[in-house]
Amino acid sequence: MKKSVTYFIIALLSVACNPRLTPVTVDVPKSYLYQNGGVSDSIPFKNQWWKAFGDTTLNRLITTALAENLDLKASASKIIEAQQSLRTLRGNFLPQLGFGRQVGVSGSGSTTTQYYAIEPTVSWEIPLFGSLSSATTESKATVEYAEWQHRGVRLALAAQVATTYYTLLQYRRDLIVAVESSRLRSETALLVDSLFTRGLATGMHRQQALSLLYTSQSDIPLYERQVRQVMATITTLTSSSVIDTTAYKTLDINAISDSPSIDIPVGVPSDLLYRRSDIASAYALLVKAASVAKQARIARLPTLSLTAEGGVVADEVSKLLKSQSLGWSTLLSFAQPIYRFGALRASERAAIEQYNQALYSYQQSFITALAEVESALVEIATTRRQSERYKSLIESNRRIAELSMALYRNGLSSYLDVIDASRSLYESQMQYSNLIASMYIAYIKLFKALGGEV
């Protein structure tokens, strides 16, 4: 009967040490809204997703950044720190060995006595009700969080390098367009100046031609500055102390194709739960919060500790090892918190609310991930269609510019038509360059949104 009562009490205490927490649920859709019938049964880019772009310069930059970036090294150091904290935690739950030495003097009246003692001790707070398990789970979740955070930093770094690289190529193309436009406008200005000298053009036409020339010329230093500033950003990302200000001149602008086609099977939305570092990190924090809540509940339950002491005492140091005055004691203590003015209960409730906060953050991280994938898919599709229209627009504007200049030379068109045609061609060329770069960046966003591994 006594054993049955004991088992019943233990069972009640075991149930009591588990707080009531809201179950983890995530509403996962079957597919992405803007997937447009793409492949969804697999995701082939397990590692080094940037190689899908087929650019050796980009590969080299990202490889260098992943090896040298100091922020990434600091992130890796946090993993080691978390792992050592786990080892420390486990050690705290094991018996603690101590060693004490005493030297003292006691007296009574005119008599004084010296004594020397060696006193080894053993103490152990016996883990009850899963306290060791929950504390270990919390520490493991901290390690897992640090690992997923590190992976997230790696992915973000690779994506930032890739985005910066294609931004650099965009500015390089803009610079080439500005230089070419300046050359053509310089030829036009010379032609108008010649016509003005022969009385076939007005002074207004001459100044308008110069104005167009100066506009394109003023854009050249603008894009040169942007190119060099972006190169400085790449240098920072690769943690290099040397900025190669001439390297941009050797960049292959053809690395940006006018019609990039990168087949990315996006998988199914549930893949994000296992691939996205932010979702996995949020889940690790959720597990940690659940463990903390459990420990807060355990703090309200009894504790059991064992302490053992022993040693020898002698009146001379030389007699310590020969002394027969060996003494020892053992103490098994049982403590039960009774009333602390609601502090323990409030601590448990606070831990449960922290768990709820972690749960909401986990659910929100998945919603955010879905939105980012959808946004990247839409951006790729719409930017592609927009760039195709702009490509046709450039050809049309180029033809208009040639025809308007030919008509002006023969006195059949106003010079205002030449100005409008030149401006339209220049603006459409710049916009087209921006759209192509935006399409590449949209692909990078999609790789990142899908949680591409690094």
State pLDDT tens for residues 349-403: 888 888 899 999 999 999 999 999 999 999 988 888 888 888 889 899 899 988 9
Whether the Cβ atoms of residue 452 and residue 155 lie closer than 8 Å to each other: yes
Residue 353's pLDDT is 87
The pTM assigned to this predicted structure is 0.77
Residue 294 has pLDDT above 60, yes or no: yes
Say what percent of the chain tops pLDDT 90.
12
Residue 362's pLDDT is 92
Helices 131-197 + 203-237 axis angle, to 10: 160
Residue 180's pLDDT is 85
CA R_g for the chain: 37
Question: Band of the pLDDT at 256, cuts 50, 70, 90?
Answer: low
Question: Band of the pLDDT at 196, cuts 50, 70, 90?
Answer: confident
Residue 8's pLDDT is 39
Q: What is the CATH number of domain 2-95+128-301+340-449?
A: 1.20.1600.10
Q: What is the mean pLDDT of the chain?
A: 78
Cβ contacts of 314 within 8 Å, gap of 6 or more: 115, 116, 117, 320, 322, 323, 325
Cβ-count burial 73-104 (b if 16+ within 10 Å, e if not)? eebeebbeebbeebeebeeebeeeeeeeeeee
Residue 453 φ then ψ, to 5°:
-75, 155
Lookup: tokens for 371: 């939105």
Lookup: tokens for 112: 């004084």
Q: Tell me the average pLDDT across 414-432.
A: 85
User: Between the ranges 148-152, 184-188, 267-271, 409-413, where is the mean pLDDT highest?
Assistant: 148-152
Residue 1's pLDDT is 46
Lookup: tokens for 396: 């049309």
Q: What pairs with residue 121 in β-bridges? A: 98, 309
Identify the H or E element spanning 395.
helix 343-409
Q: What angle do CA 161, 165, 166 make, to 5 degrees?
A: 125
Residue 114 has pLDDT above 80, yes or no: no
Lookup: tokens for 436: 């192509």
Question: Band of the pLDDT at 445, cuts 50, 70, 90?
Answer: very high
In tens, the pLDDT along 50-102 reads 888 888 888 888 998 998 888 888 888 888 888 787 677 666 666 666 666 66
DSSP 8-class letter at 50: G
* Alpha-carbon span 276 to 269, nearest angstrom: 11
Lookup result for tokens 């030495």: 101
Residue 343's pLDDT is 75
CA distances from 185 to 293, 417, 422 (A): 72, 14, 8
Q: Tell me the average pLDDT across 234-245.
A: 75
User: Between the ranges 143-157, 206-220, 250-264, 315-329, where is the mean pLDDT highest?
Assistant: 143-157
Residue 421's pLDDT is 87
Residue 360's pLDDT is 92
Residue 78's pLDDT is 84
Lookup: tokens for 227: 């190119």
In tens, the pLDDT along 262-288 reads 777 777 888 888 888 999 999 999 988
What residue spans define the domains of the chain?
A: 2-95+128-301+340-449
Query: Which of 164, 91, 38 lies closest to 440 in space, CA to CA?
Result: 164
